[in-house]
Amino acid sequence: MAKLKKQVKRTKEILSACTPAPISVESLYNDTDFRSSITREKFEELCAYLWEQALSPIKDVLTHSGMKIGDVYAVELIRGATRVPKLQAKLQEFLGWSELDKHLDADEAIVLGASRHAANLSDGIKLNRKLGMIDSSTYGFVFEIDGPDFVKDESTDQVLVPRMKKMPIKLFRSIKYTKDFDVSLSYDKASELPPGVLLQMFAEYAISGLTETSEKDGLGFAVGSNIFLLMVVVCSCS
């Protein structure tokens, strides 16, 4: 299977430049070689359901920013998949442009951007000029509290980090409670998750030992978030 995936990737890359493209895998099954070819038209037909999905990121950005297509003056293509002619054609059709921006190396741009952003955040690296960049949360995060005699209301199920919130950020929520309880962290909306992600909840914590404390001493907890970490902190309070 690994050999087949490798050849399929290579064939897809060839199709971006010419058509048809050969497919050849030695000893694919029981020492039998596999050889065939595929045209760009057939490839585009097989991937027909993906082309509209590929427009979702730019549609989401426009929706959350409150911008219209006419407000966009440049769209830079990065990552190797953007070399697929059909994908470029769909983007041009959606934007109403005759050409797309291709000033950066599609394969290296993300790596270079990530390294420069890391240098921005580092205290040990001195830059002559800071790289301007705004990072935001790709998904919204919510926390939910559950436990014995816990009354469900707006305080037990809250958005911890809204989607597209500027990062890095630290947010805290605190509630007094004197019994053991559970805290779960989940993605805000299932509809915004990429295909293949089956569960919204990605972390769950059991807070124990509170029931044994004195009734006069409440216990509070804070659920916090920063760019790298989601955490639950239990603290005493009067």
81 three-state secondary structure:
helix
Report which of 131, 188, 132 is spatially closest to residue 165, judged by C-alpha positions. 188
Residue 236 pLDDT: 43
Find the DSSP H helices in 84-176. 85-95, 109-121
The first and second tokens of residue 3, run together, are: 């050999």
Count other Cβ atoms within 10 Å, centred on residue 48: 9
Residues across the chain: 238
The runs of H, that is alpha helices, within 66-201 are 85-95, 109-121
Whole-number Å distance between alpha carbons of 148 and 131: 50
One-letter amino acid of 58? I
In whole angstroms, what is the distance from residue 79 CA to residue 83 CA? 8
Could you tell me where the DSSP H helices lie in 109-184? 109-121
Predicted local confidence at residue 214, as pLDDT: 47
pLDDT tens-place values along the chain, 238 residues long = 788 888 888 888 888 888 888 888 888 888 888 888 899 999 889 988 888 888 888 888 888 778 888 888 888 888 777 888 898 899 889 888 888 877 888 778 888 888 887 887 787 877 777 777 777 888 888 888 887 777 776 666 778 888 888 877 777 766 666 677 888 888 888 887 877 788 888 888 887 776 666 454 554 444 444 433 444 444 444 4
- Which pLDDT does position 230 carry in this prediction? 44
**Tokens read off for 181:** 């309880």
Domains plus CATH for the chain? 1-46 (3.90.640.10), 51-126 (3.30.420.40), 136-236 (2.60.34.10)
pTM to 2 decimal places: 0.60
What is the predicted pLDDT for the residue at 232?
44
